[in-house]
Amino acid sequence: MIVVMKIGAKQEAIARVIETAEEIGFSAHIIEGKERVVVGLVGVDGQRDKMITMGEMDGVDKIIPISKPYKLSSREVKNEPTIVDCCGVLFGGEHIPVIAGPCSVESEEQTIKTAEFVKAAGASMLRGGAFKPRTSPYAFQGLAEEGLKILAKAREVTGLPVVTEVTNPKYVDMVYKYADMFQVGARNIQNFALLTELGKTDKPVLLKRGMSTTIEEFLTASEYILCEGNKNVILCERGLRTFETATRNTLDISAVPVIKAKSHLPIMIDPSHAAGHWQYVGPLSKAAVAIGADGLIIEVHPNPEKAWSDGAQSLTPTQFIELMGSLRSIALAVGRTI
Amino acid sequence: MIVVMKIGAKQEAIARVIETAEEIGFSAHIIEGKERVVVGLVGVDGQRDKMITMGEMDGVDKIIPISKPYKLSSREVKNEPTIVDCCGVLFGGEHIPVIAGPCSVESEEQTIKTAEFVKAAGASMLRGGAFKPRTSPYAFQGLAEEGLKILAKAREVTGLPVVTEVTNPKYVDMVYKYADMFQVGARNIQNFALLTELGKTDKPVLLKRGMSTTIEEFLTASEYILCEGNKNVILCERGLRTFETATRNTLDISAVPVIKAKSHLPIMIDPSHAAGHWQYVGPLSKAAVAIGADGLIIEVHPNPEKAWSDGAQSLTPTQFIELMGSLRSIALAVGRTI
Amino acid sequence: MIVVMKIGAKQEAIARVIETAEEIGFSAHIIEGKERVVVGLVGVDGQRDKMITMGEMDGVDKIIPISKPYKLSSREVKNEPTIVDCCGVLFGGEHIPVIAGPCSVESEEQTIKTAEFVKAAGASMLRGGAFKPRTSPYAFQGLAEEGLKILAKAREVTGLPVVTEVTNPKYVDMVYKYADMFQVGARNIQNFALLTELGKTDKPVLLKRGMSTTIEEFLTASEYILCEGNKNVILCERGLRTFETATRNTLDISAVPVIKAKSHLPIMIDPSHAAGHWQYVGPLSKAAVAIGADGLIIEVHPNPEKAWSDGAQSLTPTQFIELMGSLRSIALAVGRTI
Amino acid sequence: MIVVMKIGAKQEAIARVIETAEEIGFSAHIIEGKERVVVGLVGVDGQRDKMITMGEMDGVDKIIPISKPYKLSSREVKNEPTIVDCCGVLFGGEHIPVIAGPCSVESEEQTIKTAEFVKAAGASMLRGGAFKPRTSPYAFQGLAEEGLKILAKAREVTGLPVVTEVTNPKYVDMVYKYADMFQVGARNIQNFALLTELGKTDKPVLLKRGMSTTIEEFLTASEYILCEGNKNVILCERGLRTFETATRNTLDISAVPVIKAKSHLPIMIDPSHAAGHWQYVGPLSKAAVAIGADGLIIEVHPNPEKAWSDGAQSLTPTQFIELMGSLRSIALAVGRTI
């Protein structure tokens, strides 16, 4: 940690900083600048809270933490990319898997029909929500276990592995029984009880970035899963909350190269929730493939106008088939397959 | 709902919008403007999802929902202010209760000492965290049930009612046993499983706004509690995430008059988490009282430099006593007491 | 405009709204909903300010403007894409021009050397700043007219048309003399005196979106140029200010399809200012080409480590050549050329 | 400056950083941490651009600048508060001046009438816009010099000094002739040509923070004025752009104590532009006085429903008189006068 003293800070203030630091267990290195003194502190882990408090001491301008709050997800700790395997579908390699399906599981017919369509179009996995975290309690909340059974049935019929959201730690076991991959939604990125529970399982976790989560916090949230022993984490960018309202969220496409530089975990893109309007889903998907995303998760509904949720951002099967064709050319252009 | 057609939208497109609306159950009113046609739809509840999808139809520029996603918390439904009673401490009336105490419960001695101090200074309730949702899994996570017991002990000694955070639906019963009020932290504002569980209890809930939650979403989140039957919700503004880093969060002080205009629920301010630095806590508290907040929740620690969490933003007991004095004058100036 | 009344608004309040609207010149259409009354107003232009004030009347919940604040830039007014021609370089067509060059013009040698490099690599135009709007008055502010002369010299040598920033209305004539295209920087997006002055010239204007400008405001700003008679406006997205600090700004890549849906003007991407770090410039450029951007403007410096400004985000000539190769494949995959 | 090396950075990378730093003129101090090496650089001014580029070197994780980009506005350079005198009205002392008046100067009658009212209510200065920077070119743009003359007339009649906005460097001389204080609007906070011009005059400048300007950038922008020799700068917070739409902008009330901690310049609040709705102007004004603001600037219009701009956020004279009464009590409670 670096303690930046104010210009003209008194010798006693500097001495008191050093004394406090040494009490905690640091050794202090003084750098006398032209304007001000800077104190470098070396030597202790896990005292971040106490260190931060030093920023409030007399004569201190600010403190700057140097070590990162995440470790296991960091490229400094593990430099080769992690490839996550979900029933043979690989995330983080040359192939770019596309997960597709309806926002909500509404019925067996709707789900299986969509699953067959997206499989035919080249999707690698099926998505579908059985537990829906909705902003309003008056909106459709999902079919719960009945929905999970339908997803399992759709897998049986099509062979596509299945990912679905879990929102409550107490349902982790139930979802485990039916699904091949857990999804943590943007609203639960800091639901640490849930993350910890998922860290104790052995199935892959698709972890969506919250809409006001920094990349550093995103990687730190993934540590809750990794440090429990589950190494199968796939990150997913789905848009930030900004002042812009033309799209539902502002897709932070830069997160792809940034996360690839800082972490070894695969990073995918959810263009549907970012866009909020189906006509922007295709363009965002193309950008995602070009920039190097390790996967896509796209909402597809046989009849978006009748969808029980997120119809506005769902593609029809025909639109999805067309899009997959375009994505294949771009994947080829960047040396990958889809 | 209002459907805004594009300039020059074809008659068929307008007809198709009306047909779709009537299928859902709406009656349609056409308004022919100078530039474009606008269709007003009247008559159905609970079809928000399908309505939103109409925004994607041919010839439609955009759709504008008219009804609000929240009802029970709205002033349009209940116009007189709600007063929430927690063991005799009233939120929403003329008196402005101050809740004070440490960020985390660290030990019996620290907690009781702080409780006695803040009581002497005029605080109405004690705060203290037993379950701490921390950004990093490597940070102190709280003493859990042991912490709850210490809080109950502090209440016994001082008579101050106790509020503490609950983060996992499965601990609601446990926290209920020890605490007088539940706190839902900013990170859990859309943890709907937790909110629903709290809605089934009869103890007051202090609901903190998330750092990227709009006021409309905040009020809608409160509906998850209200619609289960628990009417004792106290809202709390604690700062938004913005680009500004001089403070930990950007306190949205305007939320106080805005929420008072839109809702009957009491609204308090948490200056400590907004500020992130103890020297700004006093000024923000003064602004909160002047603008009409119905309560304050302030972090106080007997020795902030040694605090296990949030030391940088905690007041010493002496600072807290001084602050309470200043707040009393301002409360008087606006016709209230503290 | 739509006036939404509060639930339970009194008849007199509704009558007063209608009276006020008719005074301004509107005709009013009442829609009685299940919950509340909505009044649609039809018939007047240019009274937006007075209309907005109606939102504050008794019994009014809110007002919703329907007509857009921009007209000439709108696709509703002109549906076919505008192609802007700068000395034969076309923006908005099948070909995607790349503008490249140093952040600042530092010397004749640096500028001409860079120009020759980027031309050889396939750039269509040269960029370089002579007037640099810098956050700090103590930073390098540009060579001014001397810089413009160097740019003109570089054009003479390489044949590349030249774009450069203008920051003060009084220098519009001077810049006109030397440059082929004006650039308006993000900080000047609402410098209306400057925009109006540029609207009176006949040279193309590269208009950068401000870091907190909505797309609606961006298109409305372009009206200041268009309504003076200069139709040669090229829009440029260069990143928004958000809470994320891993990149200098958050590139709003969705702005490309959104602007293409709402406007006929060409829209390009500046990956350098969005990224702030050279290693992210390549990935963002690829995403831009894939999503359908009509051009790129990229900072290239013969020796970024010695650059007088923006060295961190500048590519070396070698990196630029490599990037152009990758971009060509992606352009091909989306049916365009570069 | 601090250069943070990556974990496991090679000796050669460290050596190259030191070499580069020494070339620029720094002396380097190595701190070997448990995890990584940190290099402290001491000794040069004005090389910020080159320093930032060092963040891109091999083996470097990031660089952290230590010295602040502002100097003359800093409390580290001048610790006693600056009091700005405008014709005898003092900003930054015990008294809190209130500036009031219409958004736009519409006519002599409207302006003088408002001036007389606000003077009677206790305002210290008159505001009124003659040059209006409007988002849309189709909105009212102000009366220009005619408006300035009306303002001068109003001063003559009432004795109130006058502040008005200037948006174009070329009108600085004209505005100087009529007004007692210049206002720089939020949109022009980084219009450096304008700031530099104002720095050469001797009249006070009311500098409004931009809606996406950090406090550090705000203070740095003030340097453009200060470093030209004009020390009479009054800062003004007027709201940030965030995702919240219930208010026009999100007032960053914390900016008051933060700026008081970092700068000696007076800081005032503009509650009208922050709120956007007249009913929130009063509450925000109260908060501003309680938190320690050095002034207020409030929009007042004799007939807001007929105002040519900003009617929705303007107080009537009666509302203004009432508000002044409340503000006096709060000022008293915090030991000041109004």
pLDDT per residue as tens digits for the range D52-66: 888 889 999 998 888
In DSSP terms, D233 is beta-bridged to: D205
Residues B23 and B149 in one domain: no
Residues in Cβ contact with B145 at an 8 Å cutoff, skipping those fewer than 6 apart: B130, B174
B interface with C, Cβ–Cβ < 8 A, is 2, 4, 6-8, 29, 31-36, 38, 40, 42-43, 45, 61, 64, 66-67, 76-77, 241-243
Partner residue opposite C330 with nearest CB, options A240, A257, A290 = A290
Where is the domain boundary, A10, A32, A64? Answer: A64
With beta carbons under 8 A apart, name residues in chain B contacting C42.
31-34
- C324 with C273, same domain: the answer is yes
CB contact under 8 A, C241 and D212: yes
In A, minimum Cα distance to B217 occurs at A135
pLDDT band at B140 (very low <50, low <70, confident <90, very high): confident
Please name the member of D7, D31, D77 whose beta carbon is closest to the beta carbon of A76. D7
Q: Could you tell me which residue, D230 or D310, shows the higher pLDDT?
A: D230
Of B38, B43, B67, which has the smallest distance from its Cβ to C40's Cβ? B38
Contacts of B66 in chain C (CB under 8 A): 4, 33, 36, 38
User: Where does the pLDDT of residue B88 fall: very low under 50, low under 70, confident under 90, or very high at 90 and above?
Assistant: very high
Answer yes or no: do D35 and A7 touch at CB < 8 A: no
C-alpha to C-alpha distance for C210 and C194, rounded to whole angstroms: 15
pLDDT at residue C216 in the model: 97
Q: Which chain D positions have a beta carbon within 8 Å of C50's beta carbon?
A: 305-307, 311
| Sheet of C37-42, strands arranged across | C27-32, C37-42, C2-5, C60-64
Helix %, strand %, coil % of chain D (to 5): 40, 20, 40
> Is residue C15 predicted with pLDDT exceeding 70?
yes
What is the C-alpha end-to-end distance of chain B, expressed in Å?
44
Instruction: Answer yes or no: are the C-beta atoms of B292 and B256 closer than 8 Å.
Output: yes
- Is residue A269 classed as helix, strand or coil in its secondary structure? strand
Strands D60-64 and D2-5: antiparallel
C269 and C205: one domain?
Answer: yes
Q: Which chains touch A (3 or more CB pairs under 8 A)?
A: B, C, D
DSSP code of D127? Answer: E
* List of residues 6+ apart from B157 with CB closer than 8 A: B112, B115, B116
Q: What are phi and psi of C245, to 5 degrees?
A: -115, 0
Residue C51: per-residue pLDDT = 76
Q: Would you write out chain A's pLDDT as a tens digit for each of its 338 residues? A: 899 999 989 999 999 999 988 888 888 999 988 889 999 988 766 667 777 888 889 999 998 888 888 999 999 889 999 999 999 999 999 999 999 999 999 999 999 999 999 999 999 999 999 998 888 888 888 999 999 999 999 999 999 999 999 999 999 999 999 999 999 999 999 999 999 999 999 999 999 999 999 999 999 999 999 999 999 999 999 999 999 999 999 999 999 999 999 999 999 999 999 999 999 999 999 999 999 999 999 999 998 988 888 889 999 999 999 999 999 999 999 999 99
Say how many domains are in chain C: 2
Task: Give a yes or no: residue D127 inside a domain.
Answer: yes
Question: φ, ψ for residue D142 (rounded to 5)?
Answer: 100, 160
Find the range with the poorest average confidence among B20-34, B248-262, C222-236, D113-127: B20-34
* More confident of the two residues C328 and A304: C328
Q: How many CB atoms lie within 10 A of CB C32?
A: 13
Q: Do B66 and C33 make contact, defined as CB atoms within 8 angstroms?
A: yes
Tokens of A305: 């106008």
Give the whole-angstrom CA distance, residue C102 versus residue C307.
8
Nearest CA in chain A to C285: A291
Please provide the average confidence, as pLDDT, over all residues in chain D.
94
> Two tokens at C181?
């295209």
Are D107 and D189 within one domain?
A: yes
Residue C111 lies in a domain: yes
C285 CA to centre of own chain:
17
Half-sphere exposure of A127 (CA within 13 A, CB side): 26
Provide the residue range defining the domain that includes C127: 84-333
A250 and C242: CB-CB below 8 Å?
yes
Question: What is the Cα–Cα distance from C18 to A278, expressed in whole angstroms?
Answer: 38
Rg of chain A taking only CA atoms, in angstroms: 23
Q: Of A91, A89, A92, A111, which is closest to residue A102 (Cα–Cα)?
A: A111
Within a domain: C99: yes
Which comes out higher in pLDDT, residue B46 or B188?
B188
**Predicted confidence (pLDDT) per residue in B250-259, tens digit:** 999 999 999 9
CB contact under 8 A, B212 and A217: no
- Please check whether residue B310 is in contact with residue B299, taking contact to mean a CB–CB distance below 8 angstroms: yes
Both structure tokens of A71: 């470790």
Q: What is the CATH number of the domain that holds C51?
A: 3.30.70.1140
Task: Specify whether C253 is located in the same domain as C127.
Answer: yes
DSSP calls for A43-67:
--SS-HHHHHHHTTSTTEEEEE--S
Picking from A1, A2, A5, A240 by the largest number of D CB atoms within 10 A of its own CB, the best residue to mutate is: A2
- Is D212 close to B261, i.e. CB distance below 8 A? no
Contact B111, B150 (CB under 8 A): yes
Provide the shortest C-alpha distance from residue B218 to chain A (in Å): 9
Which residues of chain C are within 8 Å of residue A329 when distances are taken between CB atoms?
333-334
Calpha distance B166→B199 (Å, rounded): 13
Chain C contact partners (≥3 CB pairs within 8 A): A, B, D
Partners of chain D (3+ Cβ pairs below 8 A): A, B, C
Provide the sign of the torsion angle of the four alpha carbons C11, C12, C13, C19, taken in this order.
positive
Range picked from B91-105, C39-53, C60-74 for highest mean pLDDT? B91-105
List pLDDT tens digits, range C110-155.
999 999 999 999 999 999 999 988 888 888 889 999 999 999 999 9
Distance from C-alpha of A73 to C-alpha of A91, rounded to nearest angstrom: 16
Shortest distance, CA D157 to any CA of chain B (angstroms): 34
Chain C residues within an 8 Å CB radius of A275: 254
Is residue D272 situated within a structural domain?
yes
3-state helix, strand, coil in chain A (%, to 5): 40, 20, 40
**Do C46 and C107 belong together in one domain?**
no
- Which of D53, D71, D306 comes nearest C305 by C-beta? D53
What is the DSSP code string of A112-123? HHHHHHHHHHT-
* pLDDT confidence band for C105 (50 / 70 / 90): very high
Q: Which residue, D32, D64, D96, sits at the end of a domain?
A: D64
Lookup: tokens for D133: 């920077």
**In a shared domain, residues A167 and A20:** no
Partner-chain contact B8 C36, CB within 8 Å: no
The one-letter code for the residue type at A51 is M
Residue whose pair of structure tokens reads 């105002």 in the numeric block: D307
Domain final residue, candidates D14, D29, D64: D64
A166 & A218 share domain: yes
Alpha carbon of D176 to those of D161, D179, D201: distances in Å? 13, 6, 8
Alpha-carbon distance A301 to nearest alpha carbon in chain C (angstroms): 22
| Inter-residue contact D3 to D22 (CB < 8 Å) | no
- Smallest Cβ distance to D49: which of C48, C190, C308? C308
A56:B278 CB<8 A: yes
Q: Which two tokens stand for residue A50?
A: 């106490």
B132-162: b (≥16 Cβ within 10 Å) or e: bbbbbbbbbbbbeeebbbbbbbbbeebebbb
Neighbours of chain B (3+ CB pairs under 8 A): A, C, D
Q: Which of B240, B261, B292 sits opposite D242 (nearest CB)?
A: B240
Helix axes D317-333, B317-333, angle to 10 degrees: 150
Q: How far is B67 from chain A (nearest CA, A)?
A: 13
What local confidence, expressed as pLDDT, does residue C314 receive?
95
Per-residue model confidence as pLDDT tens digits over C230-265: 999 999 999 999 999 999 999 999 999 999 999 999
Residues 6+ positions from D327 with CB-CB distance below 8 Å: D96, D98, D285, D286, D289, D296, D338
Residue type at D189 in one-letter notation: I
CA D217 to chain centre: 10
Task: Please report which confidence band the pLDDT of residue B45 belongs to, taking 50, 70 and 90 as the band edges.
Answer: low
Tokens representing residue D65 in the block: 């600048």
Residue B227 has pLDDT above 80, yes or no: yes
Chain C residues in contact with A69 (beta carbon < 8 A): none
| Mean pLDDT, range B317-335, rounded to an integer | 97
At C305-320, the pLDDT tens digits run 888 888 899 999 999 9
Please judge whether D4 and A66 are an interchain contact, meaning their C-beta atoms are less than 8 angstroms apart: yes
Residues C144 and C53 both lie in one domain: no
Are the beta carbons of B53 and A311 separated by less than 8 Å? yes
Q: Is residue B69 part of a domain?
A: no
Same domain? D93 vs D197: yes
Q: What is the CATH number of the domain that holds D307?
A: 3.20.20.70
CB < 8 Å to C262, chain A:
246
B75, part of any domain: no
Backbone angles phi and psi of B120, in degrees to 5: -60, -35
Query: How far apart, in whole angstroms, are the C-alpha atoms of residue B46 and residue B69?
Result: 10
Say whether pLDDT at B50 is over 80.
no
Contact in structure between C219 and C248 (CB atoms under 8 Å)? no
Candidates C253, C273, C279, partner chain A, best to mutate (most A CBs within 10 A):
C253
Contacts with A238 from chain C: Cβ below 8 Å = none
Spell out the residues 6+ positions from residue D12 whose beta carbon is closer than 8 angstroms to its own.
none
- With helix as H, strand as E and coil as C, how does chain B read? CEEEECCCCCHHHHHHHHHHHHHHCCEEEEEECCCCEEEEEECCCCCHHHHHHHHHCCCEEEEECCCCCCCCCECCCCCCCCCEEECCEEECCCECCEEEECCECCCHHHHHHHHHHHHHHCCCEEECECCCCCCCCCCCCCCCHHHHHHHHHHHHHHCCCEEEECCCHHHHHHHHHHCCEEEECHHHCCCHHHHHHHHCCCCCEEEECCCCCCHHHHHHHHHHHHCCCCCCEEEEECCECCCCCCCCCECECCHHHHHHHHECCCEEECHHHHHCCHHHHHHHHHHHHHHCCCCEEEEECCCHHHCCCCHHHCECHHHHHHHHHHHHHHHHHCCCEC
Cβ neighbors of C131 (< 8 A, separation 6 or more) are C141, C142, C144, C147, C164, C165, C166, C167, C168, C171
**pLDDT confidence of residue A198:** 98
Cβ contact D167–C48 (<8 Å): no
Tell me whether residue A180 is in a domain: yes
Task: Select from A305, A309, A310, A319 the residue whose CB has the most chain B CBs within 10 Å, as the one to mutate to test that interface.
Answer: A305
If asked whether residues C30 and C130 sit together in one domain, one would say no
Together in a domain, D301 and D190: yes
Within 8 A of D58 by CB-CB distance, chain A residues are none
* Rounded to 5°, angle at Cα C129 from C127 and C130: 130
Taking the C-alpha atoms of residue D246 and residue B263, their distance in angstroms, rounded to an integer, is 13
Given a cut of 90, whether residue D305 has pLDDT beyond it is no
**Pairwise CB contact (< 8 Å): D138 & C223:** yes
The answer to whether residue A265 sits within a structural domain is yes
Write the residue in C256, C286, C329 that is nearest to A283 by C-beta.
Answer: C256
**What's the angle, vertex CA D207, arms to CA D70 and CA D227, rounded to 5?**
40
Task: Give the separation between CA C72 and CA D151, rounded to whole angstroms.
Answer: 35
